[in-house]
Amino acid sequence: MSTIGINGPSAGMPFQLTDQQLSEWRFDFYGSPSNRLAQNVCTARNPINACLRSAAELSQVLDGDKKWYEVSATGKATTGGPGWICTGLDLLRLEFVKKYPAPADFEFSAGHLVFWHKLERCNYFLCTVSALLERCEPLDGRNFRHLMKHAAPDGGNWHMFVNLVKKHGVMPKSCYLTPNSKSVTKLNKILRSKLHEYSSLLYAQFTFDGDASRLPKLIGRMMPRLYKVVSICLGEPPEEFNWTFYDQKKRFQSLEYLSSLQFYEMMVANDTNLDEFVCLGHDPRLSAGYHTNFEVAHSSNMVDGLTHRFNNQPMEVLFQVMIDSLTGGKAVWLTCDLCPRFMAKRETLSLIQKSHNFSVLFGVEVGNSFNKADRMVYKESRPDAALLLTAVGLNSINDPVEFHSISASVAGKTESTISLHEDNDDDEEEEKKDKDKNDAAKKKGKKTKAATVDADWLREYGFEIIVHESFVPVDILNASRFPKLTMLPPWDPMGSLLG
């Protein structure tokens, strides 16, 4: 019987690649003309795009007639920030424009929330470091390693969005323009370096004192310096602003001397109470139970703010709630995995076996052997993006077939999605991507084309929805508010930061 030792396969066992094996494989490979052709294509072009099915082939898959229900006045998708901020602002905007005569191209400022997210997250980070030290967490422990990896992310979640809006409000985009995406990229690196340095100072102080009594005072001296860095790189949003514009009927409108919090409380919160929204998740792993509340540790961006919490439900429940919300005229926030590994350059999210044919090129199937739970267990899939669903197409028996989303992140058009992978230091590549995204956004004009989300794709890659409580069954709503919950570690897939 062959065995595998601690340091790998045991010596003498048939696990090593041999010259004879490689010679045989090479002979078989180059003996096939199709392999040579595939090699020529893939070494010169994107291998994933080379497997993309043709438009004609995709059009042969017909789902029959669909009855569509769409949220009115979807307008232009918000840009200028991470997808989770833009999606949240789109949710607010759709309700805001129903009541107020805003311009046709109205957007809330994503840059305003980006600024406060950076500052609040720095403070939250340092206070979390202090709390971990007080609990005597080891520096090489997983909590510290995870925190250091995500020291200054752009990524966030719904609850982080709620924290920012309820404390700092919102403002029109014309009153605070989006910071240059290059500046955000550089700021992230500066903040990450300083936060790592400050963490070492907190550890040194804790070790010297033997307790955490002086750490709050030390953090109090660190934060003004970080505020200075953030303000220099991004420019601080105005404390008061004047908003002048021509509405859709060409009438001049003027609002003066407003703060962002006043603007939110007087003109937004009355129609969109963020406390009335519910987070329902779908985690099919055996380790997770349905009808259970989960909370992710260290998943906030604000001291004393909300942390990421959801009630786990079967996908059938989520689908019915989404249908009820969209047919009732309310958009749905969707947390999903956009699968950038196999993403096609089409504004349609469909299963990989529908959009690509890997077996023709490689002779093996790719991306469709795991079920959803297995993909989560083996780190093949995790929530990494937020979309706003604005329409649903139902078939003859009222089952959902397709959804529409106006979120710019479907086509990669958000201007600041650089935080999903903290280890990406290829500045030139990132700057080129940012320029391409900005150019594409300009060409789009005032109205964003809706992207199509297949229902079968959503079943496999949708993880959470945020909906108004009025569309959630009473028993599930009561369960979601029950104080008992199960704590998940910050590195759990369901706690992943969104772009």
479-495 tens-digit pLDDT: 999 999 999 999 999 99
| pLDDT score at 245 | 86
Choice between 499 and 91, residue whose per-residue pLDDT is larger: 91
Question: Quick one: which of 184, 31, 178, 81 has its CA closest to 413?
Answer: 81
Q: pLDDT digits over 191-238, tens only?
A: 999 999 999 999 999 999 999 999 999 999 999 999 999 999 999 999
Residue (of 58, 45, 48) closest to 343 by Cα position: 48
75, part of any domain? yes
Q: At what angle do helices 110-134 and 83-99 cross, to 10 degrees?
A: 130
Q: Which of 86, 95, 60, 479 is nearest to 293 (CA)?
A: 479
- Residue 12: band (very low, low, confident or very high) from pLDDT cuts 50, 70, 90: low
The per-residue pLDDT for range 240-288, each reduced to its tens digit, is 999 988 887 788 888 899 999 999 999 999 889 999 999 999 999 999 9
Using CA atoms, how far residue 83 sits from 77, 86, 161, 266, 497, in Å, is 10, 5, 11, 26, 11
**Alpha-carbon gap, residue 483 to 12, rounded angstroms:** 57
Residues 3, 10 contacting (CB under 8 angstroms): yes
Does any domain span residue 89? yes
Q: Sorting pLDDT into bands at 50, 70 and 90, what band is 290? A: very high
Q: What CA–CA distance (Å, rounded) separates 394 from 399?
A: 5
Specify if 170 maps to a domain.
yes
Please tell me the total count of domains within the chain.
1
- Give the lowest-confidence range in 89-98, 219-228, 233-242, 359-368: 359-368
Residues 41-55: tens digit of each pLDDT: 999 988 888 888 877
Residue 62 has pLDDT above 70, yes or no: no
Please give the Cα distance from 114 to 237 (Å, whole number).
10
| Interval 175-190 mean pLDDT | 88
Between 92 and 253, where is the model more confident? 92
pLDDT at 425 over 60: no
User: For 106-120, 170-184, 285-299, which range has the lowest pLDDT when averaged over its residues?
Assistant: 170-184
Give domain status of residue 361, yes or no: yes
Tokens of 448: 């964003």
Is the pLDDT at 2 greater than 50? The verdict is no
Selected residue with higher pLDDT from 64 and 499: 499
Q: What is the pLDDT of residue 246?
A: 85
Indicate the range of 40-49, 68-77, 83-92, 375-384 predicted with least confidence.
68-77
Q: What is the CA radius of gyration of the chain?
A: 25
Closest CA to 236 of 111, 366, 64: 111
End-to-end CA distance of the chain: 48
Most confident of 73-87, 149-163, 169-183, 356-370: 149-163
Entry pTM: 0.88
- At 105 the pLDDT is 86
Q: Look at the chain and count its residues.
A: 499
> Mean pLDDT, to the nearest integer, of 185-191?
95
CA 256 and chain centroid, separation: 34
Residue 3 lies in a domain: no
Query: Under the phi-then-psi rule, with left for phi > 0, alpha for psi from -120 to 50, and beta for the rest, what region is 445?
Result: left
pLDDT in tens, 159-170: 999 999 999 999
In a domain, 5, yes or no: no
pLDDT at position 441: 42
From the CB of residue 240, how many other CB atoms can be counted at a distance below 10 Å? 11
Report the mean per-residue pLDDT for the chain: 86
At residue 100, the pLDDT reads 87
Report the 10 Å Cβ neighbour count for 49.
14
pLDDT tens digits for range 388-421: 999 999 998 999 999 999 876 664 454 433 333 3
**Domain limits for position 167:** 67-299+307-418+426-495
Give me the CATH number covering residue 96.
Answer: 3.90.70.10
More confident residue, 111 or 446: 111
60 confidence band (pLDDT: 50, 70, 90): low
Residue 255: which H helix or E strand, with range? strand 252-258
In a domain, 6, yes or no: no
Question: Residue 423 above 90 pLDDT?
Answer: no
Per the domain annotation, does 435 fall within a domain? yes
Mean pLDDT, rounded, for 1-14: 53
Q: How many CA atoms lie within 13 A of 116 on its CB side?
A: 25
